Amino acid sequence: MKKINLLAISLLTFYLSLFTFASQASAKVIMQEKGTITISEKETINDDLFIAGETVEIDGVVTGDVFVAAGTVRVSGDIKGGLFVGTGDLSVTGAKIGGSLVVGSGNVMLDKDAMVAGSLMVGSGNFKNSASVGRNVLVGSGTIYQNGRVGKEARLGAGTIELGPQNLVAGDLLYALGDSEAELQADPSSSVSGSVNRYIEPEQAQKDMAKAREDFGRAGRMFSKAWMIFSFLSSILIGFIFLKLFPKTMLNLTEKVQQNPLKLLGIGLLMVLAIVPVLLALSFTIIGLPLAGLLLLVFWVDVHVAKLIAAYAFGRFISVMANLTKPSIYLVFFIGITLFYVLRLIPGLGWLASVAFTWVGLGAIWAYFTSHLKNL
C-alpha cells in the first residue's frame, strides 16, 4: 500500500507541476512521438524544460526544472533545478541534480557518481541507488537496494530491502516490509547515524480491523435478513392488491405459465438478453433517450411483477397436487409466494429459483400482451 501511495503521489506531483508551469511562455517544450530526444553534452538550456517522447537522453545542462514523460529516460547531465519523471525505466549516471528528484517508474537506477542536492522521492517496481542525496529519501518499491549517502532521514517500504556497504544515513531510518517474517538485509559496513525502526501494524489495530470486518459482516447479514422479510411481506401485499384489482388478468397469466412453462422460460431469457442492446440503441438519440428511461422503468416493474405471476402459478400447481378443495385465490398466492421465498433461502438453489421465476413470469407477460395485440 505504501508503494502504491508513493507512486500515486509521485505521478500526481509530476502532472500538477506540468500543469502549473506549462503556461509559462519562457519554458522550452520538446515533444516527439517516436525515436530518441537528446539534449547533447554541449547543449545548455537556460530555462525550464518539458519533454515527452519515446526515449529521452539528457547529457547537457538545464538551468531550470525538468519534467519528463517517456518510455525510457537516461540522465547524465547537469540539472540546476528539480527533475520530475514519469517513465518505464530511469537511469541516472553521473548526473548532478540541484533540486529534488521525483519519480514514478518501473525501474530506477542511480549510480555512485550521481548526486541529488534535494530529496529523492520514488514509487517504482525496482529501485537501486548508489548516489548521494542531500536531504531525505522516501521510496516505495517492490525491491530496494540503497547504497549511497543520505543527508537526513530515509523512509523505505518494499518487499525486500537491502542496505549496501556504502549506505550512510545521517538521520533516522524507518522501513516497512510486506512480509512479517522478512528481515532487513544490511551489509556490516552500512551505517545509520540515527535510530533504525521497523513499522509494524499494531496488534490492537489488527484486532480492531478484524472486529470491524466481523461487525460489518454481521450488519450485512442482518440487513439481508431484514430485506428478505420486507420483500416477502411487500410481495404478499402487492400480490393481494393485484388479485383484488385484476383477478381475471392474473388468472390468464398463470394459465399461460401452466400451459407451457419451458417456452415462457425461453421467452423471458430472450427478453432479458434483448433489453440491453435496445436501451443502448435508444440512448444514442435525443428523442430515444427518454424512451429508453421509460422502457427501463417498465422493464424494472415487469421483473418484479413477473415473480408474482410465477409464484401464483406455482401456488396453483401446489394446490392441485395437495388436493385442496376450492382454495381462495389469496391462499393460493400465499402458498406460492411463501414457497418461492423458502426456495430462495436454500444455498445454491435460491438464485436459480429467482431467475427461473423471473424468466417464466416475463415470458407470461409477453405472451399475454402479444395475444391481446392480435385481437385488436
Dist. CA 257–CA 313, nearest whole Å:
7
What pLDDT, on the 0 to 100 scale, is given for residue 21? 38
What pLDDT, on the 0 to 100 scale, is given for residue 55? 93
Last residue of a domain, one of 200, 218, 243: 200
Asked if residue 142 and residue 187 are part of one domain, the reply reads yes
What pLDDT, on the 0 to 100 scale, is given for residue 170? 95
Q: Which residue has the cell 402459478?
A: 313
Nearest alpha-carbon partner for 239 in 174, 298, 310: 310
Asked if residue 125 and residue 9 are part of one domain, the reply reads yes
What pLDDT, on the 0 to 100 scale, is given for residue 131? 96
Asked if residue 32 and residue 153 are part of one domain, the reply reads yes
What is the number of other CB atoms lying within 10 angstroms of the CB of residue 143?
15
Residue environment code for 33-58, b if the CB has 16+ CB neighbours within 10 A, otherwise e? eeeebebeeeeebebbbbbbbebbbb
Asked if residue 226 and residue 97 are part of one domain, the reply reads no
- pTM, entire model: 0.52
Asked if residue 180 and residue 212 are part of one domain, the reply reads no
Asked if residue 348 and residue 291 are part of one domain, the reply reads yes
Asked if residue 164 and residue 227 are part of one domain, the reply reads no
SS3 81: coil
Q: What angle do CA 103, 108, 112 make, to 5 degrees?
A: 110
- Parent domain of 58: 2-200
Asked if residue 236 and residue 167 are part of one domain, the reply reads no
Asked if residue 227 and residue 190 are part of one domain, the reply reads no
Question: Do 154 and 171 touch, CB atoms closer than 8 A?
Answer: yes
Burial status of residue 224 (CB atoms within 10 A of its CB: 0-12, 13-18, 19 or more):
exposed
Query: How many domains does the structure of the chain reveal?
Result: 2
Tell me how far the alpha carbon of residue 192 is from its chain's centroid: 39
What pLDDT, on the 0 to 100 scale, is given for residue 375? 59
Tell me how far the alpha carbon of residue 37 is from its chain's centroid: 35
Q: What angle do CA 284, 289, 295 make, to 5 degrees?
A: 120
Last residue of a domain, one of 200, 215, 248: 200
Asked if residue 267 and residue 167 are part of one domain, the reply reads no
Question: Do 267 and 367 touch, CB atoms closer than 8 A?
Answer: yes
Dist. CA 361–CA 310, nearest whole Å:
5
Asked if residue 118 and residue 11 are part of one domain, the reply reads yes
Nearest alpha-carbon partner for 121 in 106, 103, 108: 103
Asked if residue 182 and residue 210 are part of one domain, the reply reads no
What pLDDT, on the 0 to 100 scale, is given for residue 208? 66
Looking at residue 347, the DSSP 8-state letter turns out to be T
pLDDT mean values, one per 10 residues, the chain (376 residues): 38 39 56 88 92 92 91 95 91 95 91 95 93 94 94 92 95 86 90 89 64 78 81 86 87 85 86 79 70 80 88 88 84 89 84 88 85 64
What pLDDT, on the 0 to 100 scale, is given for residue 27? 67
Last residue of a domain, one of 169, 200, 231: 200
Q: Which residue has the cell 526544472?
A: 65
Give Cβ neighbours of residue 276 (< 8 Å, ≥ 6 apart): none
